[in-house]
Amino acid sequence: MDLHTVLVVTKDTKISSLINAMLIAPLFETQIVSDFNEARRLCGERNFNIVIVDFAEGEGTDFAIDISDSLSTILLLTPTQFFEQISYKVEGYGILTITSPFDQFYFYNMIKVAIAVQYKVQVLSSQTTKLKVKMEEIRVVNRAKMLLMQNLNMSETDAHHYLEKEAMDRCIKRTAVAEQIISTYG
């Protein structure tokens, strides 16, 4: 069973009490703050799986948008009368909206949606990291091949074979060979 870290940002003690009673250990580690500046600081220090934000006269909407580039799944509690307007404004940022006040069953289902979204975000983030590493390896190898071509008059094919053979003969990664070439000729 995974632990889900949750930050709740609300000035409304009724909402914080209700959420705190629903999101209990060992499934949830919930932290509740009433100050948006404190919430910004916390989001800067660590990544929460889910951030639940109260509308708070619009301050919550601004906060939710501010942190929308984090890996957190954000749920914005929105008054019913502003729901369509706010939902339209924030959906492009990947923010989920929930009407407030909310039914407990509806809220818990939205938490389940947020957990599912969080799993997908983690998978995509991992894939992105792998792609960035692979792209950096390709960049380093291509730079080394270019230096071999310039300094040792090798063809691209010869430079490629040289990198492969050196890596194999020395039992090191091709990028390590490439980095050594870059430090020698770069």
Note the pLDDT of residue 1. Answer: 61
Q: What is the mean pLDDT of residues 15-34?
A: 90
Among 39-53, 55-69, 102-116, 164-178, which is the least confidently predicted range? 102-116
Note the pLDDT of residue 63. Answer: 94
What single DSSP character describes residue 101?
Answer: S
Q: What is the mean pLDDT of residues 54-73?
A: 91
Note the pLDDT of residue 87. Answer: 94
pLDDT exceeds cutoff 90 at 108:
no
Note the pLDDT of residue 89. Answer: 94
Note the pLDDT of residue 109. Answer: 87
Q: What is the mean pLDDT of residues 67-93?
A: 93
pTM of the model: 0.72
Percentage above 70 pLDDT, the chain: 99
Helices (H), 67-103: 83-90
> Which of 173, 158, 166 minimizes the C-alpha distance to 150?
158
> Which of 47, 42, 37 minimizes the C-alpha distance to 71?
47
Confidence of residue 104 (pLDDT cuts 50, 70, 90): confident
Radius of gyration of the chain (CA): 25
pLDDT exceeds cutoff 80 at 156:
yes
